[in-house]
Structure 1
Amino acid sequence: MNDFVHLHVHSEYSLLDGLSKIPKLVSQAKIMGMKHLALTDHGSLYGAIKFYKECKQEGTNPIIGCEVYLAKRSLKDKETGKDNENYHLTVLATSYEGYKNLMKLVTIAHLEGFYYRPRIDKETLAKYAKDIIALSGCNSSEISKTLVEENLDKAKKLAIEYQQIFGRDNFFIEVQRHQFEKFKTAHEVGSEIYNELDRMAQEEKKNVEGAKKLSKLTNISMVATNDVHYVLASDAQAQDVIICIQTGKIISETKRLRMIDSPTFYLKSTQEMVELFEDIPSAITNTLEIAKKVNIEIPIGQVAFPSFEVPKQTTPDELLKELCYERIASRVDKVTPQIKERLDYELSIIAKKGYSTYFLVVADFVNWAREKAIISTTRGSASGSLVSLALGITTVNPLFFKLPFERFLNLYRPTLPDIDVDFADTRRDEVIEYVREKYGKDKVAQISTFGTMMARQAVRDVARVLDWPYTKADRIAKMIPFGPQCFSPCGWSCHCAKYTH
């Protein structure tokens, strides 16, 4: 029976820290017979939806969580020298409601608490703790640091405080074992690496022994985790390289973050975890008990447009049709039967898909910008829509240029069509502010994009970490052709569309 569930897992969305790609994480968990899996990236939910979809596809129960940064004082305190450091805490959503609370926590951490890291505080945790399970955290947590100091009384007070925040059955004492004692023997006694591993081994021992005492003292259950940063044990060296890229270090340096010295931060099997915690079997079985509490169903694919005010006794479909026929005459030389037929066709598709409000909203802010003399242009497949032309969203007559509407929208397209509108850089903020004010701040979001290293840059970065001469790295990088780049499974850089990473 598979009694262990990984509840502390980092993906590549723990930027330049985690190495694990989500599809590989989920597939490896399935290969090992695990029916549940958590994702707890540092201070973010960047990979949550991708993880959710991948888990659902593989028949795995997705446990969406986050390793949050907890301010030592208030999240509003940002004093140099006092608030630079923070604690870690592992939080897991048990339902869609919990997931929404998790999103609120992460949003507040970025918008209000950001100081070196996106931080929250206990007051904020208490406000959004519903349907969230918390684990006390890794060796950087508040309770762990207190246990290392062997201050059991303080640890007890903290544990009770967290229990009051999350609920009696929703707080657990987290324990980890990364075998620093075992791996220190690979280094010379007295060397910097040996001494550092010895220090971490002593701290980990104090932490686990202290956690046992704390659990008995408070009757709070323990839970075993592995601080997963890569999928396979063989990935340890690659993860060490990205750590060096993040910190600007060279791999041969000893005074740096060196997770490689204890290469145990991988997705361990149930058997490995059972053996590691054979003295605390309940810490293993409790992971499954937690996983059984989790049932997150995210309504993906549902369209949620902002509310667009229409005249009484009029529907968005009717208003859209009325506006199109009012305005089309000013957009074309002559309203021909062909134009009427195309308009009716497009409007029928838009109505059947339920997208009339979408067109009304886009037309509203595009025309507002035009009235304010803010330069804009619409690009992409929206130019194939006569409705877009009639509303002033585009300036291209699709009939004249023989542009098909179906490329933009058809009955069988499963996703929402996107209308890409570019505004003058110097006045783009005015448009965003208009939309926020009219439709509500909670209805407007700006989408983040992730910068990824293309093959040439990756070669240069890795070469720097390995302390290779720049000329050597540059020569290798220049052998890689320009254009779409990737490293295929066979190891060659290629242009083909077959491989996507």
Structure 2
Amino acid sequence: MYLPIHVHSYYSFLQSTLSVERIVQKYKELGARFVPLTDTNGMYGFVKLAREAESLGLKPIYGAYIDDPTNKEKYILIYAKNMIGFSELCLLISKRHLEENFQLDEIVKSISENIIIVTPSLELLKQLPPGDNIYAELKPDKNQKYNTKQLYQYAKSSGYKYVASSPIHFEQHDDYLFLKILLSIKYRTNVDKLKTDERIDEEFFFKDEKLWNRIWKNLPEAVSAIDEIVDACNVELKLCDYKFPKFETPNGETSIDYLKQLAWERLNQLYQEITPPLIKQFEYELEVISELNFQDYFLIVWDIVEEAKRRDMVYIGRGSAGNSLISYCLGFTSVDPIKYDMYFERFMNKFRKDPPDIDLDFSWKERDEIIRYVFEKYGYSKVAMISTHVTFRGRSAFRETAKALGFSEMEIEKYSKMIPWVNPAALPNIVGLKEKFPESQELPFDEEPWKRVVDYASKLTGFPRHLSIHPSGILVAPDRITNFTALEFANNKGLGLIVTQPDMYGVSDLGLVKIDLLSQRSLGVLRDTIKQIEKNENK
């Protein structure tokens, strides 16, 4: 049975109508034993793929579509065979986004045996030696018929493997207009003005088994190659298997011993009398930290706090870290948890395996400086900002859909004002606006042509649009971050800020640990006020 291995989700950003969840469900409905994901230059949906595939008993196939920046028609599909290949996949995607002079022709020459390459490009294929990991991608679309024939003839005569591939960008033929709307938003045009090179073939959807069998009936070996690729790909992502960065202690002590030493010294400074209950709480917290293997995390936060003190920065620890005696001793917070009888288990306990949530507020004037310190101290290859996935909300989905369908700005402006800024999770369907919001009562969404706009805008609500930067999350990894996930520039590339492709939830599921360094404008105001008072007093 033929099943596609070239599949795009909505994490190809306005090039697919399919969520990761829907793709996994569809493959289950088709009776598949596997489910692939090959988003454009990205691994944004890998964690969702892992979770959803596991829940439905399917084998996830982690891949990506990597194109050439100077020629988007030239691309490769790459699939990770194992965890080494997975790390290589993350690195290749990162290079595609971060290297100014990225050249696909050069990249393909350096790919190892831990990766499978599939390409429809005859030019690229000729640069690669025939082997078990190299396949020509044979596509049945009418626009590429001649090229596919040439590719097949060359592959067969030159000893290359080839695989049947019908790319998937939408679920069924009726969804093609929705795909055109997405493409119109991407290219800032409308559905009637999409250029040929901006379109996606209208045949790139899931077809029934009979039609696919008819398409590939003369090339059974190309269909069999799909099973070869699936069998060769055996990546097991261990979600929530935490990977803590290593803190280098000054004299080679173990991390837990050094943490105990630092905390004990400060404990004796903070308390006049070291009572048995105080020692008991101190040792209990250290035991929990050690058992959960969080000692290096605590030391890195301590190091950041110490550097802030050395630079005379204003900072405040917030959140449940204030419930911890060890946090108090390390200077994360100035609140005495013993004096106020605060409950440590709200912050950490043996039955909660998630990393502790330690938030540090800095002046908005000084936060960038302390972040730069973290990058310099722990290495630019091991530190990154965490992304957020910016999604379409009700109003933006309505505006963009209406523009794509050719409505004038005047018409769009008139009705978009009546749509409140609504979180997609709170109101996933624009149709429900009238029931909840008085300002939406006059919306003519039950009548054409606006009914069609709303139908498509409702589908668009919640789709990812681009990446932004998490307001506080910074990631410190034990090794190169690209061993675990891919990186790219945030939406404003000019700022030079590099972010993880997964958001904070995906990063956490991958077992990577974030530190929250927040920007607090009021701290800057307080600092300026104190300085001005001191200046006035010294006059």
TM category (shorter chain) comes to 0.7 to 0.9
Q: How does 1:96-135 map to 2 (within 5 A)?
A: 96-113=83-100, 119-135=102-118
Q: How does 1:350-361 map to 2 (within 5 A)?
A: 350-361=289-300
CA deviation profile, 1:158-211 (whole Å, cap 9, x unmatched): 53422x2xx511111111123xxxxxxxxxxxxxxxxxxxxxx4x422022213
- How far apart, CA to CA, are the structure 2 residues paired with 1:422 and 1:24? 40
Aligned residue number for residue 135 of structure 2: 172
| Alignment pair present for 1:249 and 2:189 | yes
- The alignment of Structure 1 onto Structure 2 pairs a total of residues equal to 437
| Alignment pair present for 1:230 and 2:170 | yes
- How far apart, CA to CA, are the structure 1 residues paired with 2:150 and 2:73? 21
Aligned residue number for residue 249 of structure 2: 310
Q: 2:394·2:430 contact (CA, 8 Å) conserved in 1?
A: no
Q: Percent identity?
A: 29
* Residue 8 (structure 2) aligned to one of 10, 17, 37: 10
CA deviation profile, 1:235-257 (whole Å, cap 9, x unmatched): 32222212111111122325466
CA deviation profile, 1:202-232 (whole Å, cap 9, x unmatched): x422022213322331132321112211234
What is the letter of the counterpart of residue 2 of structure 2? F
Q: 1:68·1:120 contact (CA, 8 Å) conserved in 2?
A: no
Partner SS for 1:394: coil
Aligned residue number for residue 385 of structure 1: 324
What is the letter of the counterpart of residue 187 of structure 2? T
Q: For the structure 1 residues 399 and 128, does the alpha-carbon distance in structure 2 shift closer, same or farther, using more than 3 Å as the test?
A: farther
What is the letter of the counterpart of residue 212 of structure 1? Y
* Residue 82 (structure 2) aligned to one of 81, 95, 98: 95
Q: How does 1:275-290 map to 2 (within 5 A)?
A: 275-290=214-229
Aligned residue number for residue 212 of structure 1: 152
What is the letter of the counterpart of residue 29 of structure 1? Y
- How far apart, CA to CA, are the structure 1 residues paired with 2:168 and 2:351? 41
CA deviation profile, 1:445-480 (whole Å, cap 9, x unmatched): 222222111112211221222233445444544444
Q: For the structure 1 residues 92 and 62, does the alpha-carbon distance in structure 2 shift closer, same or farther, using more than 3 Å as the test?
A: same
* Residue 125 (structure 2) aligned to one of 148, 159, 166: 159
Partner SS for 1:40: strand
- How far apart, CA to CA, are the structure 2 residues paired with 1:235 and 1:332? 68
- How far apart, CA to CA, are the structure 2 residues paired with 1:400 and 1:474? 57
CA deviation profile, 1:122-156 (whole Å, cap 9, x unmatched): 3333333231111113xxxx42xxxxxxxxxxx5x
Q: For the structure 1 residues 130 and 433, does the alpha-carbon distance in structure 2 shift closer, same or farther, using more than 3 Å as the test?
A: farther
- How far apart, CA to CA, are the structure 2 residues paired with 1:398 and 1:481? 43
Aligned residue number for residue 69 of structure 1: 67
CA deviation profile, 1:98-123 (whole Å, cap 9, x unmatched): 11111121222222246xxxx44333
What is the letter of the counterpart of residue 133 of structure 1? I
- How far apart, CA to CA, are the structure 1 residues paired with 2:169 and 2:7? 7
- How far apart, CA to CA, are the structure 2 residues paired with 1:125 and 1:43? 14
Q: How does 1:259-338 map to 2 (within 5 A)?
A: 259=199, 262-310=201-249, 314-328=253-267, 330=269
- How far apart, CA to CA, are the structure 2 residues paired with 1:479 and 1:340? 61
Deviates more, 1:361-370 or 1:479-488: 479-488
- How far apart, CA to CA, are the structure 1 residues paired with 2:272 and 2:414? 59
Aligned residue number for residue 48 of structure 1: 46
- How far apart, CA to CA, are the structure 1 residues paired with 2:276 and 2:413? 62
Q: 1:244·1:251 contact (CA, 8 Å) conserved in 2?
A: yes
What is the letter of the counterpart of residue 30 of structure 1? K
* Structure 1 stretches lacking a partner, 5+ long: 72-82, 144-154, 179-200
Shift of 1:481: 4.3
Deviates more, 1:35-44 or 1:396-405: 396-405
Shift of 1:421: 2.9
Aligned residue number for residue 187 of structure 1: none
Q: For the structure 1 residues 364 and 439, does the alpha-carbon distance in structure 2 shift closer, same or farther, using more than 3 Å as the test?
A: same
Q: For the structure 1 residues 336 and 490, does the alpha-carbon distance in structure 2 shift closer, same or farther, using more than 3 Å as the test?
A: farther
Q: 2:184·2:194 contact (CA, 8 Å) conserved in 1?
A: no
CA deviation profile, 1:328-375 (whole Å, cap 9, x unmatched): 355578766665444333222212211111101111112112211234
Q: For the structure 1 residues 431 and 323, does the alpha-carbon distance in structure 2 shift closer, same or farther, using more than 3 Å as the test?
A: same
CA deviation profile, 1:40-77 (whole Å, cap 9, x unmatched): 11112222222223222222111111111236xxxxxx
- How far apart, CA to CA, are the structure 2 residues paired with 1:56 and 1:377? 41
Partner SS for 1:451: strand
Shift of 1:407: 2.9
- How far apart, CA to CA, are the structure 1 residues paired with 2:342 and 2:409? 50
Partner SS for 1:213: helix
Aligned residue number for residue 185 of structure 1: none
Shift of 1:10: 1.0
Q: 1:32·1:269 contact (CA, 8 Å) conserved in 2?
A: no
| TM-score normalized with structure 2 length | 0.73
What is the letter of the counterpart of residue 109 of structure 2? A
Q: For the structure 1 residues 434 and 414, does the alpha-carbon distance in structure 2 shift closer, same or farther, using more than 3 Å as the test?
A: same
Which structure has more RCO (C-alpha within 8 Å, separation ≥ 6)?
2
Aligned residue number for residue 523 of structure 2: none
What is the letter of the counterpart of residue 129 of structure 1? S
Shift of 1:23: 1.0
Partner SS for 1:441: coil
- How far apart, CA to CA, are the structure 1 residues paired with 2:419 and 2:341? 39
Shift of 1:296: 0.6
Aligned residue number for residue 373 of structure 2: 434
Aligned residue number for residue 467 of structure 2: none
Partner SS for 2:36: strand
- How far apart, CA to CA, are the structure 2 residues paired with 1:209 and 1:372? 66
Deviates more, 1:238-247 or 1:394-403: 394-403
Partner SS for 1:168: coil
Aligned residue number for residue 24 of structure 1: 22
Q: For the structure 1 residues 112 and 31, does the alpha-carbon distance in structure 2 shift closer, same or farther, using more than 3 Å as the test?
A: same
Q: 2:162·2:222 contact (CA, 8 Å) conserved in 1?
A: yes
Q: For the structure 1 residues 236 and 377, does the alpha-carbon distance in structure 2 shift closer, same or farther, using more than 3 Å as the test?
A: farther
CA deviation profile, 1:78-112 (whole Å, cap 9, x unmatched): xxxxx576721111111111111111212222222
Deviates more, 1:242-251 or 1:215-224: 215-224
- How far apart, CA to CA, are the structure 1 residues paired with 2:328 and 2:462? 36
* Structure 2 stretches lacking a partner, 5+ long: 437-460, 464-539
Shift of 1:31: 0.9
Q: For the structure 1 residues 489 and 473, does the alpha-carbon distance in structure 2 shift closer, same or farther, using more than 3 Å as the test?
A: closer
Aligned residue number for residue 283 of structure 2: 344
